[in-house]
Copies of this chain bind each other. A is one copy, B any other.
Amino acid sequence: MERLPGFRDFYPEPLPHVDVWSADARQYIFEKWRATARRYAFREYDGPPLEPLELFTTKSGEEIVGQLYNFADKGGRAIALRPEMTPTLARMVAAHERNYKKPIKWFALPQLFRYERQQKGRLREHFQLNADILGETDPAADAELIALLIDALRAFGLTAEDFVIRLSSRNAWHDFFQRGGGDPAQEYAFYQIVDKLEREAPEQSDQKLSALGFSLAAVNTFVEQGLPTAELQSILDNLAARGLRDFVRVDYRVIRGLAYYTGVVFEAFDRKGEFRALAGGGRYDNLIKLISGGKVTLPALGFGMGDVVLLELLKARGLLPAFDANVDVFVLVEDEALRAPSLKIIQDLRSSGLVVEYPLTPGKSDKQFKRAQELKAAFTARLEGETQVRIRNLKSREEVLVAIGEVAHHTVFKR
């Protein structure tokens, strides 16, 4: 029986196949994400993987349904597997915002879903680090969030040589559009053209821009000048004070496709431009109000970073560590008469926090030792008589003989 197309199985390493995913690499990414968000004093939250379909159409319009993994449940409700976390966050914050001091700094590691026409290797789910700050309009919040994004990538050993944050602002484009005498009703259509500048033929972009009273030349000049607005300059200065200036550049070609962004927007890319965006985000100051039906007004901003592109980049840069069982001690049971006291040692070692493996059933000495080596155990331990344990460091080959009662907390295991 096969798993569903577009979904992943996560196996422990070593992996059986190239088309199979590593549970260890996934957990490695989750742990780095979580630890970095915590250092920034972000708090973890989560919501259900299923939400009422309406939550997503309220935010993004009916068009989004075509991309959703949606269905009717047995009670006839219109349901969708969450395609992004922001609507759930907005719903949760709107319900209980009075309980939390502002600014609210929250993160989550959700699995997200979409249902697009199946293409080879195209996934229907991925995991994201989602981080958001709510209740603060000052660009200092934007800087704090972008600093977190930078450090969440640096946590994997990536440097300013590997990635860059392209920083932009809808406010800058709003001013440009106004100065050029654009029709306010067509402003979002204008943003959509800017969003596609890098993917569409110049003639096509120019034609579309002309229809709105603009020229590609003027747009290109604005992009090339790349003069930061006061708001963006404040963010750049803040990041410079942290020593993070090298990770960011103003790039007005970034505008983000989604309708709900209201100010600063940004995307993270690998410097060589080999991969899709590593992360993206921005301000959405009106969304909480929309989702809460006008009950709660809170300025907000956030980003999402996916696991799939990140993993591709880490592999390409050789930054994924080797994963194994991390066995600290392999207990050899060579004499079955000593199995009971060996089990006691195993229990004591595990209780002290060490990862311990041993042969469940009788086996030859050399096979047991070979298994310890395969598992890359740091030590073997073997009872000698009933009162002493021989501990061997498999790297240095040093051996010590330890009294049975002292094994669990022996300094030999301190690393």
- Kindly identify which residue among B41, B238, B339 contacts A356, using a CB–CB cutoff of 8 Å: B41
Q: Is A3 an interface residue, CB under 8 A from the partner?
A: yes
Q: Given contacts A3-B51, A17-B96, could you give 19 more A-B pairs where the C-beta distance is less than 8 Å?
A: A1-B91, A1-B291, A4-B52, A7-B50, A9-B46, A9-B92, A14-B99, A23-B43, A23-B45, A41-B327, A41-B356, A71-B72, A71-B73, A136-B361, A238-B343, A241-B341, A241-B344, A243-B344, A243-B347
Interchain Cβ contacts under 8 Å between A and B, 29 examples = A1-B52, A1-B58, A4-B48, A4-B50, A7-B47, A8-B48, A9-B46, A12-B43, A12-B44, A12-B100, A12-B106, A16-B96, A20-B96, A23-B44, A26-B46, A39-B353, A40-B356, A41-B325, A49-B111, A69-B74, A71-B71, A71-B72, A71-B79, A75-B118, A103-B360, A138-B361, A140-B360, A237-B340, A241-B340
Chain B's nearest CB lies how many Å from the CB of A265? 19
A74-B115, A371-B101 known; A45 vs B1 contact (CB < 8 Å): no
A48 touches B361 (CB 8 A): no
A48 touches B125 (CB 8 A): yes
Q: Chain B: which residue is nearest A10 at the CB level?
A: B46
Q: Is A181 an interface residue, CB under 8 A from the partner?
A: no
Provide the residues of chain B in CB contact with A12, threshold 8 Å: 43-45, 100, 106
- Binary interface encoding of chain A residues 219-253 relative to chain B, with 1 for a CB under 8 A from any of its CBs, else 0: 00000000000000000011001111000000000
Q: Is A119 an interface residue, CB under 8 A from the partner?
A: no
Q: Chain B: which residue is nearest A68 at the CB level?
A: B74
B3 touches A91 (CB 8 A): yes
Chain B's nearest CB lies how many Å from the CB of A292? 8
Q: A326 CA to B40 CA in the complex, in Å? A: 11
A357 touches B41 (CB 8 A): yes
A1-B291, A45-B12 known; A347 vs B96 contact (CB < 8 Å): no
A101 touches B374 (CB 8 A): yes
A27 touches B44 (CB 8 A): yes
Provide the residues of chain B in CB contact with A10, threshold 8 Å: 44-47
Which A residues lie at the B interface, using CB under 8 A? 1-4, 7-12, 14-17, 20, 23-24, 26-27, 38-41, 43-52, 54-55, 58, 69-75, 77, 79, 81, 91-92, 95-96, 98-101, 103, 106, 111, 115, 118, 125, 136, 138, 140-141, 144, 147, 151, 237-238, 241-244, 291, 293, 325-327, 339-341, 343-344, 346-347, 350-351, 353-357, 360-361, 371, 374-375
B356 touches A39 (CB 8 A): yes
Provide the residues of chain B in CB contact with A95, threshold 8 Å: 9, 16
Q: Chain B: which residue is nearest A354 at the CB level?
A: B39
Chain B's nearest CB lies how many Å from the CB of A73? 7
Provide the residues of chain B in CB contact with A51, threshold 8 Å: 3-4
Most buried by B among A74, A341, A357: A74
Chain B's nearest CB lies how many Å from the CB of A19? 11
